[in-house]
Amino acid sequence: MTKDQEMREEARGAIIEALENGYSGHYCDLHNEVFNTDYYIIGTYRAKEALNEYDVFEALNKVQTYEKDNFGEVYTDLSDPEKLINMLYYIIGEEVLSEMMDGITAWEDNWNNQADEETNAEILKAVK
């Protein structure tokens, strides 16, 4: 399994876990809640190891492209391995969430709504 596949699996697990654990924010904020409120990796050494497994240049390219496309410029300090790997995980999380929820009516119909147990269960049933 490649590091990209591993990160995608972890992202999928994190999304499912949030819904199973009673996510109650708005569905449009789920990505931010799961991928932007905590760190994926803490520590420079661990971050460097993960980036080497992923492919440092591929990670740099992915983060730069994403940020230029979405923000018009690059904001992540690309010289900081911890910031780079965490931004990479954020981007992968967005991709995974989009892939997982593609065509799921309960997700699409409730995008702007507050999450509730019933809708979470419906979404979980569809993604599993």
Q: What is the pLDDT of residues 98-109, one digit of tens each?
A: 999 999 999 999
User: Residue 44 has what pLDDT?
Assistant: 97
- Among the listed residues 127, 115, 61, the one whose alpha carbon sits nearest the alpha carbon of residue 91: 61
- Alpha-carbon distance values, 57 to 22, 28, 47, 99 (Å): 37, 31, 14, 24
User: Residue 128 has what pLDDT?
Assistant: 85
Question: What mean pLDDT is predicted for residues 35-50?
Answer: 96
Distance, in Å, from the CA atom of 3 to the CA atom of 9, rounded to the nearest integer, reads 10
- Alpha-carbon distance values, 61 to 24, 89, 97 (Å): 34, 14, 21
Residue 15's domain spans which residues? 3-127
Whole-model pTM: value is: 0.94
Number of domains in the chain: 1
